[in-house]
Chains A and B, each alone.
Chain A
Amino acid sequence: AQRVTQPEKLLSVFKGAPVELKCNYSYSGSPELFWYVQYSRQRLQLLLRHISRESIKGFTADLNKGETSFHLKKPFAQEEDSAMYYCALLSFSGGYNKLIFGAGTRLAVHP
C-alpha cells in the first residue's frame, strides 16, 4: 500500500534549535517526495521536492531509500518557521500522478 507517515503531530522547539520533521513512506516504485507547508491563515504551498535537491528557507530533506524516509531538517529554527508541515508522495497509477499526504506535523518555534 502507498502511504506516508508523519509520526509526530506536534514538534515544539526554541528559536535557534535544530529541527527534524520525520516522514516515512511506503511505495513500491521509485518515489518522488515533497514537503508542503501551511502558515497560519495561508494556503498550502510547496516547500521543496527531493528531485530538485534544493534548500528552501534553510530547510533540506534527503531521500533515504533504505530507511524509506524523507525527513525535513533545519539547523537553526526561526519563529517564522512555525507552521503545519505535510510530507507528500507522488503516486503514479493508471497513467496519472496524484499526491498522497501524511497527516502533518505542527512545528511551533518559541522565542
Chain B
Amino acid sequence: GAGVSQTPSNKVTEKGKYVELRCDPISGHTALYWYRQSLGQGPEFLIYFQGTGAADDSGLPNDRFFAVRPEGSVSTLKIQRTERGDSAVYLCASSEGAGGFDTQYFGPGTRLTVL
C-alpha cells in the first residue's frame, strides 16, 4: 500500500517568506508526527497529532511554527518569517497508535532551504 508521502520534496525560499509543508499519512493512521532533521543530526521531535488535535507541540521551536490536521488525515506544517536556521529536512511519520508496538512509518521528507 501507499506509504507516507510529503510534498514538496524540496523547497527553496528566501528569508522572511512563509512556507507550507504537506504530509499525507498512511490511511487509517490516527497518530501523526513531525520531526526536523538538521545536517549531521538525528530527527528532532516537533509536534504530535492524535486525530485532529495537536496532543503535544512541545517540540515546536517558537511561535513561527504551526501545524494543523483539520480532518484527521493530511497535515500541514506552516513556518512564518523563515530564517536561515530553519533550513533542514522536515520529516513526517504516522502510526496506528502511539504505543511502543505502534511502528512509526516515515515519509521521504521535505528539504527546506532558506536563502
Chain A contact residues, CB within 8 Å of chain B: 4, 6, 9, 32, 43-46, 49, 51, 86, 88, 90, 93-104
Contact = CB atoms under 8 A, between A and B. Distances in A.
A98 B56 contact: yes
Contacts, number: 59
B85 interface: no
A73 B98 CA distance: 27
B108 A43 contact: yes
Given A99-B45, A102-B42, A51 B101 contact: yes
A43 B50 contact: no
A96 B48 contact: yes
Contacts of A101: 35, 42-44
Contacts of B4: 43
A96 B43 CA distance: 18
A31 to B, nearest CB: 10
B91 interface: yes
Given A99-B45, A103-B41, A43 B107 contact: yes
A98 B101 contact: no
Contact count band on B: 20 to 34
Contacts of B56: 93-94, 96, 98
Nearest to B45: A98
Residue in B42, B98, B109 whose Cβ sees the most chain A Cβ within 10 Å: B42
B42 A46 contact: no
B100 A97 contact: yes
Contact of A44 (B58, B59, B98, B106): B106
B48 A98 contact: yes
